[in-house]
A = this chain, B = another copy of it.
Amino acid sequence: MKRPDKNFSKECISAIGVDLGGTKINIAFVNKEGKIEEHIKIPTYAEQGKDLVISRIKKGILQLIFQRDKKIENIAGIGMGVPGPVNYKSGVIHFAPNLPGWKEVPLAEIIKQEFQMPIIIENDANVAAWGEKIFGAAQGINDMICLTLGTGIGGGLIFNGEIYHGRDNVAGEIGHIIVKKDGIPCNCGNYGCLEAYSSASGIKQRIYRRITEQSANDIDCSSLGNLDNLSLVKVFELARQGNVIVKDIVEEAIEYLGIGIASLVNILNPEMIVLVGGITNEGEKLLKPIREIVFRRAMISHTKNLKIVFGQLGEYAGVIGAAALVWNFY
Contacts and interface: CB of A to CB of B under 8 A. Distances in A.
Interface in A188-208: 188-190, 192
A262 B194 CA distance: 13
A155 B271 CA distance: 19
A270 to B, nearest CB: 6
Interface residues of A, number: 50
Interface string A92-104: 0000000000000
A207 B301 CA distance: 30
B270 A267 contact: no
A256 interface: yes
A143 interface: yes
Contacts of A170: 269, 299, 301-302
Contact of A268 (B166, B262, B263, B299): B166
Interface in A261-284: 262-264, 266-271
A180 B177 CA distance: 12
B262 A173 contact: no
Contacts of A266: 173-174, 176-178
Given A181-B255, A262-B178, A297-B178, A168 B268 contact: no
A292 B192 CA distance: 17
What's the number of copies of this chain in the assembled complex? Answer: 2
A159 interface: yes
B168 A263 contact: no
Interface in A230-289: 255-256, 259, 262-264, 266-271
Contacts of A179: 178, 181
Given A179-B178, A262-B178, A267-B267, A160 B167 contact: no
B190 A167 contact: no
A172 interface: yes
A88 interface: no
Interface string A59-102: 00000000000000000000000000100000000000000000
Interface centre among A180, A188, A268 (most CB of B within 10 A): A268
Given A178-B297, A180-B181, A302 B267 contact: no
Contacts of A269: 165-173
Given A173-B266, A269-B170, A85 B255 contact: no
**Shortest 6 CB-CB distances between A and B: which pairs?**
A166-B269, A171-B269, A167-B271, A176-B266, A173-B266, A177-B263
Given A167-B306, A168-B305, A170-B299, 14 more contacts: A155-B267, A160-B164, A166-B302, A167-B305, A168-B269, A169-B269, A170-B269, A173-B269, A174-B267, A176-B266, A177-B267, A178-B262, A181-B259, A263-B263
